[in-house]
Amino acid sequence: MEQERLQKVIANAGIVSRRKAEEYIQKGRVKVDGKIITELGYKVSKHAIIMVDDIEIKRSQELRYVLLNKPRGVVTTTSDDKHRKTVVDLIDLPERIYPVGRLDYDTTGALLLTNDGTLAEFLMHPRSGIPKVYLAKVEGIIKGEHIVALKNGVVIDGRKTAKSRVKLRRVDIENQVSFVELTIHEGRNHQVKKMFEALGFSVIKLKRESIAFLSVKDLPSGEYRLLNKKEVARLYGLMKTSSNETI
């Protein structure tokens, strides 16, 4: 009988990412046929009854891929104990989906959501190297020396960032602010804000304009769209390319 790893089944059901599913298993939050399973890699048949926090998961969901232009004041989670609006609240789909990575409460722009655990895990992994383009409005005047420093990497949290692509879009001398386009290939916590802070600049506004080839240029704030088959195939193509490069 064909079997699959428990964490993969949970992720593909759109509950959480595979990494988070592994945490749930280790914490004893998952049951298979009434028995708590804490073993990573545990395999289950297609007939097994799987429960997460005593709620049975549905394993026959259609895979969904959503690009959202996240507005300010929305949290990037599936639920919030402070009862704030979440990114999932903005999307009307019958399937349970979850955000791929995070954007801060006050950060806007491109965010992917899906119930495809395999693809989500790849996109969130630091080694994937997926380019993410941000537009930052910063307090102060960015000069050539700052651009060079950002390009070459700055030290945040005791570790230097990878090289980035940087473009100074505009400088407002009167209001003493600069608009900088920054393309990074990592996904460290609050990375863009910390990179500017390392150079003595505060980020006033931050928008993620694109993830890989997916842009929110023509997508109004707070709106979303489903990815088409070609776009999903291109994302899987990136995963295949990344896998081949690591062999």
Structure confidence by residue, pLDDT tens digits, 174-225 = 999 999 999 999 988 899 999 999 999 999 999 999 999 999 999 999 999 9
Instruction: Please tell me whether residues 92 and 146 are part of one structural domain.
Output: no
Instruction: Please tell me whether residues 111 and 138 are part of one structural domain.
Output: no
Instruction: Please tell me whether residues 87 and 201 are part of one structural domain.
Output: no
Rounded Cα–Cα distance for residues 234 and 213 (Å): 9
Instruction: Give me the pLDDT at residue 30, please.
Output: 94
Instruction: Give me the pLDDT at residue 244, please.
Output: 54
Instruction: Please tell me whether residues 112 and 138 are part of one structural domain.
Output: no
Instruction: Please tell me whether residues 90 and 200 are part of one structural domain.
Output: no
User: Which CATH number goes with the domain that contains 81?
Assistant: 3.30.70.580
Instruction: Please tell me whether residues 223 and 117 are part of one structural domain.
Output: yes
Active site residue ranges: 104
Instruction: Please tell me whether residues 135 and 205 are part of one structural domain.
Output: yes
Instruction: Please tell me whether residues 154 and 39 are part of one structural domain.
Output: no
pLDDT at 247 over 50: no
Domain that holds residue 174: 131-211
Quickly state the pLDDT bin for 112 (edges 50, 70, 90): very high
Instruction: Give me the pLDDT at residue 79, please.
Output: 83
Per the structure, the count of domains in the chain is 3
Q: Sign (positive/negative) of CA torsion 245, 210, 216, 100?
A: positive
